[in-house]
Amino acid sequence: MPPRYKMPANRNINPEYPPVPEETQVPEKFVDEAAAEKYDTSIRHRELLSERGFLYHHGKTTSLPKFVQDPITVHNWEQFCHTQPNAIIELVREFYTNYKVDSPNSTSVRGFHVSITPDVINDLYNLPTVRDQFKGLCKIIDMDRLNEILTCIALPNASWTGTNPKTITLSREMLKPEAKVWYYFLLSRLLPSTHDSLIQKKRAILLYCILEGKSINVGELIHSQLQLCAKRNCGKLWFPSLITRVCKIQGVPVDSNEPTVNAVAIVDTTLNRITKGESSAHMGGNTEKVSTDQTTSSVPHSEELLAKFDNLEKRVSQMEVMQYEAMSMMHEFYKYTQQRDIALEQYLKSHLGQAQPFPDFPTHIFNTDFNEEQVVDEDVGHETATAAIPEAGSPSLGTHTKKKKGKLVATPTPSRKTRAG
């Protein structure tokens, strides 16, 4: 590894935020002067391409449509396809600043060595290393074979655009509904792009492999795309959540106050819009123009409305992810209080002899099979079991429940003085 370049104290990392005081500057931020120059000229202002993932209800893929659930199961993509954590903006920019295409298996981030091999990526998502059928299919130049692939992913009246098998494309509007959903997914997770109107041959073949269960080496594919992104001098930076997770796991220091960008959750409303053909605004690229047979009076400012709707949907999905994370933390707190109560009860019994009966812990809050009558909406879920948030008039943290003739009845929780007897 080349000698590291210590960032001058007066270098402002990001013009959007005030300079870091000299005594708290992170040393050895860039590996050399060339990296520092690269950051200033082509990295520091670039945005991140948020990674998309399916939102599992109650942590189970069975809540998803069959055309989503089946490929996830076949490819063992349960962890890979799930919603991703937020990405630390500066950490991702620093990763790409120091990343060298001629030594793509490792880099230095904030003075720490970071390994980023295909195996590291596969291990992160608990994926096996498989023989990559996708790579072999990408070499196909026989039009009869390519037309078989087209039949699998596209509508009956679809056709390739172009005559050269190496450069043919397909209109996104010609995809089958299930293929549109997976295309939306792969545009940020496997073969990133913000230009989605025309599907290149490679992405079409990847869709075919996903839907038909052909093996895909995710680690190798993402690793090659990392190198491609590192070569570019413009455009969004890819795989920010992946990079953030790899860096944190391998000990790179981060600050809890560092600005982040939210990952995008593919929720039910997203699936409905995509499968119904109303996804032009939020596929990640340009908005489709209104067809010529529609008058401007019937669809006023359609592009602006679609963009606003897309932004609103993203904000809703982000709020849902935040809600699920809060529910998970609440569930962990409930588990802690249960263990605390058990320990307290044992202590009181051992030191006070026969104390008053200790209130039963409301174990029903650990039930993950909620229905609509139990406060939690069916759309709410997380990787771990979640607990219901009490509504007005329902048992709260100040009450406990007892079963009475098959019903849960809330009663006031005894005070500490009463508990002590």
Other beta carbons within 10 Å of 315? 11
Q: pLDDT category, 387, cuts 50, 70, 90?
A: very low
Q: How far apart are CA 98 and CA 226, in angstroms?
A: 13
Q: What is the pLDDT of residue 295?
A: 31
Q: pLDDT category, 303, cuts 50, 70, 90?
A: low
User: Based on the number of CB atoms within 10 Å of its own CB, is 353 exposed (0-12), middle (13-18) or buried (19 or more)?
Assistant: exposed
Q: How far apart are CA 211 and CA 314, in angstroms?
A: 26
pLDDT beyond 80 at 391: no
Answer whether 227's CB lies under 8 Å from 101's CB.
yes
Which residues sit opposite 404 in a β-bridge? 407
Enter the DSSP assignment of 39.
I
Mean residue pLDDT across the chain? 76
Q: What is the DSSP string of 50-93?
A: PPEEE--BTTBGGGS-HHHHHHHHHHT-TTTTBPPPPEEHHHHH
Q: pLDDT category, 350, cuts 50, 70, 90?
A: confident
Angle at 170 between CA 166 and CA 174, to 5 degrees: 160
Q: pLDDT category, 28, cuts 50, 70, 90?
A: confident
Mean pLDDT of 71-81: 95
Q: What is the pLDDT of residue 278?
A: 52
Mean pLDDT of 145-168: 91
- The secondary element (H helix, E strand) that includes residue 408 is strand 407-412
Selection from 266, 317, 326, 332 nearest residue 82 by Cα: 266
Tokens of 109: 């981030």
Q: pLDDT category, 156, cuts 50, 70, 90?
A: very high
Q: What is the pLDDT of residue 356?
A: 61
Mean pLDDT of 60-76: 92
Q: By percentage, how much of the chain surpasses pLDDT 90?
A: 47
Q: What is the pLDDT of residue 158?
A: 93
Q: What is the pLDDT of residue 74?
A: 95
Which residues sit opposite 107 in a β-bridge? 114
Mean pLDDT of 36-51: 94
- The sign of the CA dihedral 56, 383, 238, 226 is negative
Task: Give tens-digit pLDDT for 89-141.
Answer: 999 999 999 999 999 999 999 999 999 999 999 999 999 889 999 999 998 88
Selection from 228, 51, 229, 65 nearest residue 125 by Cα: 51
**What does the domain layout of the chain look like in residue ranges?**
22-286+304-314, 323-366+402-421
Residue with tokens 């409930």: 334
Mean pLDDT of 77-82: 95
Q: What is the pLDDT of residue 367?
A: 52
Least reliable range by pLDDT among 85-99, 237-251, 303-317: 303-317
Task: Give tens-digit pLDDT for 267-277.
Answer: 888 898 888 86
Q: What is the pLDDT of residue 341?
A: 82
Task: Give tens-digit pLDDT for 216-245.
Answer: 999 999 999 999 999 999 999 999 999 999
Least reliable range by pLDDT among 31-45, 132-146, 184-198, 293-307: 293-307
Comparison of pLDDT for 360 and 67, the residue scoring more: 67
Least reliable range by pLDDT among 117-126, 149-158, 200-209, 282-291: 282-291
Comparison of pLDDT for 271 and 3, the residue scoring more: 271
